[in-house]
Amino acid sequence: MEKTILKCENLNKKFGKKQILYDVSFEMKEGDILGFIGPNGAGKTTTIKLILGLQGINGGKVSINGYDIEKQFTKAIEKVGAIVENPDLYMYLTGYDNLKLVKNLYKNIDDNRIDEVVKLVKLENRIKDKVSKYSLGMRQRLGIAQAILHRPNLLILDEPTNGLDPEGIKEMRELLLELASKEKMAILISSHNLAELDNLCNKICIIQNGKIIETSDITDIKHQKNKQYKIFEVNNTDLIKNIIPEAIIQKKKFKLDIPKEKVPDIIEKLVENKIKIYEVKEEEKSLEQAFFEKTGGNVIE
């Protein structure tokens, strides 16, 4: 059975008389990559700060590896790595020296562990260069190396792909997938890059106006819809309207709003009319489409 790494239960937060969070609840298990998304001002950063113990909780509870973040802070936080906003790096030092400084903050971390994380984030060829000579993507990878140096099983990242070029985004994605699969790390990512989260996450949590409005597997949230469109790829769509008047034609494809049980009947009609069928699949919306539907069209800025 997969171990629960992070559990947020009915979190409430106020600043003065203003309520910021309302009963925020979700959990993560080992190996999960959870995309934490919502419009600006929805409460993402506040939730992260409560998880990390950086702000007091007005109601509810955060547990990390079974430890209460308020009552057992030291035990709760010891296996957590985080980058909130930008990684803290000394630009005039080498990447290796930056890691040595972080190593000194922990017990039982030796130079072999530094070599391990350097290899993991693929900075072997540049680790002895000054950070001032690093690209933005390299600095982000060095920041993650710092965050995982003490072998955490929960990694929290705020906008990890901000400012990265497509190659940097690809490298970041591959790194995070490797950490989740090989290290069994639970990774919480707060990001506005929905297209990238679509390729990366297995779970999504949507927050709006301080309330969680959806928490589910990414495949589930992308398939929730009123219509049940099935897409048929065929060799010829010229005759489709005569055979199936309700079809929506899309070049060599057409789609129908039908339940799964009706698909064999459509295939039978096509075969009878000597139309070749190459593929039948259910239409899947993007994470961005699912987000807009859930939030009523709130734009992520």
The reply to whether 151 and 216 lie within a common domain is yes
pTM exceeding 0.85: no
Which of 222, 241, 270 is a domain's end point? Answer: 222
- 166 lies in the same domain as 236: no
Helices (H) and strands (E) in the chain, counts: 11, 14
Q: How much is the pLDDT for 159?
A: 83
Structural domain harbouring 9: 4-222
294 assigned to some structural domain: no
Q: Is the pLDDT of residue 206 over 80?
A: yes
Residue 159 sits in the same domain as residue 193? yes
Average pLDDT over residues 50-68: 95
Residues 212-239: tens digit of each pLDDT: 998 988 888 766 555 566 788 899 888 8
Phi-psi region at 210: left, alpha or beta (left = phi > 0; alpha = psi -120 to 50)? left
Mind listing the pLDDT tens digit for each residue in 68-83?
999 999 999 999 999 8
Q: What is the mean pLDDT of residues 202-220?
A: 90
Domain match, 101 and 183 both: yes
301: pLDDT strictly greater than 50: no
pLDDT at 248: 87
Query: What tokens appear for 173 in the block?
Result: 């994605």
Task: Please check whether residues 39 and 87 belong to one and the same domain.
Answer: yes
Contact assessment for residue 157 and residue 190, using Cβ atoms and an 8 Å cutoff: yes
Domain boundary among 207, 222, 237: 222
pLDDT over 90 percentage in the chain = 54
CA–CA dist 40, 60 (Å, integer): 23
CA 22 to chain centre: 22
Residues 80 and 128 in one domain: yes
More confident residue, 203 or 168: 203
Number of domains in the chain: 2
Backbone angles phi, psi at 196, to 5 degrees: -75, -40
Q: Per the domain annotation, does 301 fall within a domain?
A: no
Two tokens, residue 295: 């939030």
Whether residues 120 and 42 fall in one domain: yes
Task: Please give the helix or strand (H or E) that residue 170 lies within, else none.
Answer: helix 166-182
What pLDDT digit, counting tens, does each position of 167-192 carry? 888 888 888 999 999 888 999 999 88
Q: What is the CATH number of the domain that holds 56?
A: 3.40.50.300
Please give the distance of CA 26 from its chain centroid, rounded to a whole number: 14
Residue 147, in any domain of the structure:
yes
Residue 300 has pLDDT above 50, yes or no: no
Is residue 36 assigned to a domain? yes
pLDDT digits (tens, 9 = 90+) for 98-135: 999 999 988 888 889 999 999 988 899 999 999 999 98
Kindly state whether residue 287 falls inside one of the protein's structural domains: no
Task: Please answer whether residues 282 and 228 qualify as being in contact, where contact means their C-beta atoms are separated by less than 8 angstroms.
Answer: yes
Both 57 and 148 in a single domain?
Answer: yes
Is residue 290 a part of any domain in this protein?
A: no
